[in-house]
Amino acid sequence: MPRLLPLAALALGFASPALAQMPTNAPRASTTDPRANLRAGWNDAQVASWNLEHVANIPRSGPFVNPENPGDFGKANTDLAFQGQTMFVGNYSGVQIYSLADPARPALVSQIVCAGGQGDVSVHGNLLFMSVEETRGRLDCGSQGVPEPVSAERLVGIRVFDISNLQAPRQVATVQTCRGSHTHTLVPDPNDPQSLYVYVSGISGVRSGEELAGCAGGSPAENAEGSSYFRIEVVKVPLAAPQNARVVNSARFLLGLPAAPESASEIPSDAEKAEASARAAEARARGKFTITWQGLEQVLPDAMAAQILQQMMGAAGRTGEPTAADSTMLRERLPQLVAQQEARNANRTGPTSCHDITVYPEKGLAGGACEGYGILLDISDPQNPRRLDSAGDANFAYWHSATFNNDATSVVFTDEWGGGGGPRCRVTDRMEWGANALFRIHDGKLHQTSYYKLPAAQGSTENCVAHNGSLVPIPGRDVMVQAWYQGGLSIFDFTNPAAPREIAYFDRGPMNADDLVTGGYWSVYWYNGYIYGSEIGRGVDVFRLTPSSELTADEVAAANTVRATEINPQLQTKIVWPASVVLSRTYLKQARDAQAVTTAQNRTITATLLTAERARTATQKRAVATRLNTAARSLSSSNASSMRLAESLRALAATLR
């Protein structure tokens, strides 16, 4: 067997088409935006706001703030989770529990001092889950750290607290993992309500096998089944006995990934393929050698063909001019050589971990953000997530997280270029870098459509890059609120994932005018009519949407009717809008904009909805219900927006009977 040439040699002279096509004069962030030059300050920074009301700010307190060092990262606020009238705010030093009895004014209930970072939180029933990745994390929650490289006192992995008494949560379980837990995701099992799964994403180095048995490094070639890389851990939590939580699976969907295309546009089009094939056929007719590489036929350069031929002959102990038989043999062997090289390349470049996984159990889907890949997973069997598709993008440094739209027909992936500590929204930082990439999902495949980045330039003392967010439940539209660290929060509409557009924002000036003092929003999420922001250095912020040219009063009011009982950011649940006049009015406007209702229908339905709003007596309500049903029947069933309107009118009628 001849020694295989390195892939580099096989690919000699191949162009990299997509990279060459990348725009050289890409648009830059605006320096004239009101957010571009805000005055600095820890608690008195200048503010710019658009289409949002800033309702409250609750600063960090007690052991969760260092008054002498506002940027003390050991006390940075992190992720949020919500349950009933309670909000859980993660922190590198533990968890802060706030009452939302007055949702506009969070009130501190208690603080769990328990260091270990990142302290991302999730909540399910009476259990609170927390991610621990730092080597200072201790089983006993102590703050003294763990100086020994190997120690029985260290905990990196998942903590579980019983929060039956919010005043005094108790740690009831810990699950040690080989690479700690940078983030985690709760995954309910639709067939087993007594159990809960937790997907654990660890991105740190592998712990010593002396500290935790079974932990080991190694590439897929060296240690495919035993390596702590190339996997996520699946923890099963028996809800009645959380102390028995344990790792039940190492999900290895990161193995055997094809080499990621450098960008969506690098995937050759059918026309390009046809053209390349024609060129290859013509070259073959002239006696040239051709191969198929990454979906495209290519002509093997003469020098390389000669080199491989010489090697083949050398292996057979011959020298001199190759014979016709040698050429035939090479022709037969080339596909095999290419396949071997592609397999080798895939093994070498696969991601070693996921940063974050967002699950959407009602759709049986998950989005994994895994180093150089965005991955679509089938989670219909939650213990055994299965890869459906993967995407790559040369502009993405580090795939960070995913957010699906409500129908799971599109997904927003974020790129946390630099890990969140760097100023990456300066006018010099490209708009495709540290941004969101938007994809349509079609037939279980990802199709990239656009980028979205904070449109306002930020300063060099403001850490800024794409980070966590959630959907804002505007009916009929896909809207997301997203944290950009010191870039503030940005709300954008991505109903058309090819043309995302900002519709609201809030931003403060930097923590410090002269130094980069880490701060800004880690997470911003919608919860029951309010937007809550976890600010690394400035505590918790509360916002309400204000109607504007971008959002009608009806749209805002309809969003505010949505009620959730538990929100965990990495666990998406389907938004359902209760029937209401404002909901139907929102759908009516959207149907009107889509020209899916006639002028007469519009007039009738507008009047009927006004009557419905004013109906007080049972007789009035019955009468208007009949009119709503009649109006619904009159609508076309051939258009999505008129069908949605009709359905909402019928549902509204049902509430009036």
Partner 1 sequence: MRLLLLAGLVLVAPAVRAQSTCTPEHAAMGHCTMPAAPAPSAQPTAATTTATTAHPADATFMQMMIPHHEQALEMTALVPDRTDNHGFRMLAERMETAQRDEIRWMRHWLEQRGQDPAAHAGHLMEGMLTPEQMADLAGKRGDAFVYTFCAYMIQHHEGALTMARDLFASYGAAQTADVHKLATDIEADQKMDIVRMRGLMATLAPVPLVPVTPPSSSGHSGH
- Which residues, 90 to 149, sit near partner 1 by CB under 8 A? 92-94, 107-115, 117, 133-136, 139-149
Q: Does 73 bind partner 1 (CB under 8 A)?
A: yes
Shortest distance in whole angstroms from residue 44 CB to partner 1? 17
- Two tokens at 353? 């971990």
10 Å CB burial of residue 428 (0-12, 13-18, 19+) is exposed
Round to whole Å and give the CA distance between 648 and 272.
47
581 DSSP 8-state letter: H
Among 43, 69, 323, 384, binds partner 1 (CB under 8 A): 69
Shortest distance in whole angstroms from residue 320 CB to partner 1? 25
Shortest distance in whole angstroms from residue 260 CB to partner 1? 8
Q: Does 14 bind partner 1 (CB under 8 A)?
A: yes
Round to whole Å and give the CA distance between 208 and 216.
7
Round to whole Å and give the CA distance between 206 and 178.
6
- Two tokens at 558? 């309809």
Q: Does 340 bind partner 1 (CB under 8 A)?
A: no
Shortest distance in whole angstroms from residue 653 CB to partner 1? 47
Among 8, 271, 285, 325, binds partner 1 (CB under 8 A): 8
Q: Does 349 bind partner 1 (CB under 8 A)?
A: yes
Question: Is the peptide bond preceding residue 383 cis, with omega within 30 degrees of 0?
Answer: no
**Residues of this chain, 160-219, that bind partner 1 according to CB under 8 A:** 161, 167-171, 203-205
Residue found under tokens 């939302």: 100
Closer of 94 and 361 to partner 1 (Cβ): 94
592 Cβ neighbours under 8 A, 6+ residues apart = 602
Among 120, 233, 297, 371, binds partner 1 (CB under 8 A): 371
Report helix, strand or coil for 293.
Answer: strand
**Residues of this chain, 519-578, that bind partner 1 according to CB under 8 A:** none
Q: Does 374 bind partner 1 (CB under 8 A)?
A: no
> What b-and-e string marks burial along 450-466, b requiring 16 or more CB atoms within 10 Å of the CB?
bbbbbbbbbbebbbbbb
Strand stretches in 125-272, DSSP E:
127-132, 157-162, 170-176, 183-188, 195-201, 232-238, 246-251
Closer of 205 and 444 to partner 1 (Cβ): 205
**Span near partner 1 by CB under 8 A; candidates 48-56, 61-69, 375-383, 562-570:** 61-69
Shortest distance in whole angstroms from residue 475 CB to partner 1? 37
Contact of 642 with 635, CB cutoff 8 Å:
yes
Closer of 261 and 569 to partner 1 (Cβ): 261
Closer of 347 and 561 to partner 1 (Cβ): 347
507 DSSP 8-state letter: E
Count of residues that bind partner 1 according to CB under 8 A: 90
Shortest distance in whole angstroms from residue 314 CB to partner 1? 18
Among 422, 475, 500, 519, binds partner 1 (CB under 8 A): 422
Closer of 307 and 604 to partner 1 (Cβ): 307
